[in-house]
Amino acid sequence: MAILVCGGAGYIGSHTVKELVNTYDVVVLDNLTTGFEQLIDSKATFIKGDLGDSAILDEIFTTHKIDAVFHFAANSLVGESVQNPLKYYRNNVSATLVLLEKMIEHGVKRFIFSSTAATYGIPDTDMITEETATNPINPYGRSKLMIEQVLADLAHVHDFQYVVLRYFNAAGAHESGEIGESHDPESHLIPIVLQHLLGQRDKISVFGTDYETADGTCIRDYIHVTDLARAHILSYEGMATGKITNKTYNLGNGAGYSVKEIIETCQKISGKKRCD
C-alpha cells in the first residue's frame, strides 16, 4: 500500500515525504506552482498535475494501491487571500472536494488534512486549545475550516476516517541540509532574517512595535517542520491501528517567541549583526 501526498513538493510536504519514504511507498502529486521538484525525495513517485484534475486522480487511485492521502496542497498567504478570495476558495476548497469525491469513489478511507491555527481567528485567550472556538477572520482560514466541516460530514455517512492538524508557525529545515524553506516571495520570518544577515536582503520590516508584549513585537508559536512531518505520520499510524479516528489536533510547542527575540537569536547564532 502507498500514501498519496498532495503538495509534496512544498515546504512541509517535502519534509513529510522525506520521512515517509523510510517506511512507506509514496506517491507525490504537485503542480509545482509554489513547490519545487528538486525537493521531492528520489525514492518517491512524482506525478505533476493539479489537485482538481479528476482524470489524474482516477489514474493515481487506479494505478497505485493508495491507503491514505496526506493533503498539503493549498494557497496559504493570508494577505493574498483577502485580496483574491476566489483563488483560495477555488484551490483550497473546490479542488479538495474533487479529491475527496475521488477518494470515496475509489474506496480510499484515510485522510490527513493540513489545516491551520488561522481557523481560530483572534481568540480571547493566550493559550489556544482544540476546544477554543473557531472564528477565522480571512478567506485562507475560512477555506481551511470549510474543509474541516466537510470531513466531519463525510465521516458521518461514509466509511471514512480523518485527522485534522492545525499548525501554528512551521520553521526550520531537514537535519540533512538537503531541503528547507524556499518560498517566492519569502514570507516566513526566520529565512527573511537569515537572508538579511547574509546580505541577500537590504532590510527587515518589523510590522508593529506596540504589541502588549515584553518588547512590543508580535509573539508567535513556532514548531519545527520535521516535528510537523512526524505528527502526520503518527496520525496516519494511529488511524491504521485504530487508536485514533476523526480527531483534530493543534501542532505547536505551547510557547511563543517575539519577532525581536527571533532576530536577536539569528544574530547570535550567525555571529552577524546587520539589521540597520
Q: What are the tens digits of pLDDT across the range 113-165? A: 999 999 999 988 878 999 999 999 999 999 999 999 999 999 999 999 999 99
- Has residue 194 been placed in a domain? no
- Of the pLDDT bands very low, low, confident and very high (cuts 50, 70, 90), residue 112 is very high
- Of the pLDDT bands very low, low, confident and very high (cuts 50, 70, 90), residue 36 is very high
- Has residue 272 been placed in a domain? no
- Has residue 84 been placed in a domain? yes
Verdict on whether the full-model pTM lies above 0.85: yes
CATH code of the domain containing 156 = 3.40.50.720
What DSSP string runs through 23-64? Answer: TSEEEEEE--SS--GGGS-TTSEEEE--TT-HHHHHHHHHHS
For strands 25-30 and 256-258, give the pairing: unpaired
- Has residue 123 been placed in a domain? yes
**Residue 100 pLDDT:** 98
| Phi, psi angle pair for 217, to nearest 5° | -105, 160
- Has residue 260 been placed in a domain? no
The domain total for the chain is 1
- Has residue 206 been placed in a domain? no
Report the candidate in 171, 69, 58 with the shortest Cα–Cα distance to residue 113.
69
257 tagged catalytic: no
Name the catalytic one among 140, 162, 167, 257.
140
**Residue 110 pLDDT:** 98
Q: Give the pLDDT confidence of 224-264 residue by residue, as tens digits.
A: 999 999 999 999 999 999 999 999 999 998 888 888 888 88
Instruction: Say which residue, 45 or 213, is predicted with more confidence.
Output: 45
Domain span at residue 95 reads 2-172+222-253
- Has residue 35 been placed in a domain? yes
